Amino acid sequence: MKDNQQVFAVGKMCRVFQVSRSGYYHWLNRNPSRREFENQELPTNILEIQNGLKEPSVKLIMK
């Protein structure tokens, strides 16, 4: 929806997708969850391990 705000009205998109406008704006402005944050770091951690910059640990593997 965010990508289409220039083309379609937010209110109309909310009706089509059956979500409230307030719910959409709440979701849009929320802080990333811990899981989202960890997922963003994952590619960097993998590359560091592959390049020998970081030792794999049980903690990293088990996450």
pLDDT tens digit sequence for 26-42: 999 999 898 888 888 88
Residues 23 and 42 in one domain: no
Same domain, 38 and 20: no
Task: Report how many domains make up the chain.
Answer: 2
Res 58: pLDDT? 54
> Model pTM?
0.52
Shared-domain flag, residues 37 and 21: no
Determine contact, residues 13/4, Cβ cutoff 8 Å.
yes
Same domain, 26 and 37: no
Given pLDDT bands bounded at 50, 70 and 90, which one contains residue 61?
low
Q: Residue 42: what pLDDT? A: 86
Tell me, yes or no, whether 23 and 3 share the same domain: yes
Range of the domain at 16: 1-30
24 and 43 fall within a common domain: no
What CA–CA distance (Å, rounded) separates 23 from 12? 14
pLDDT at residue 44 greater than cutoff 90: no
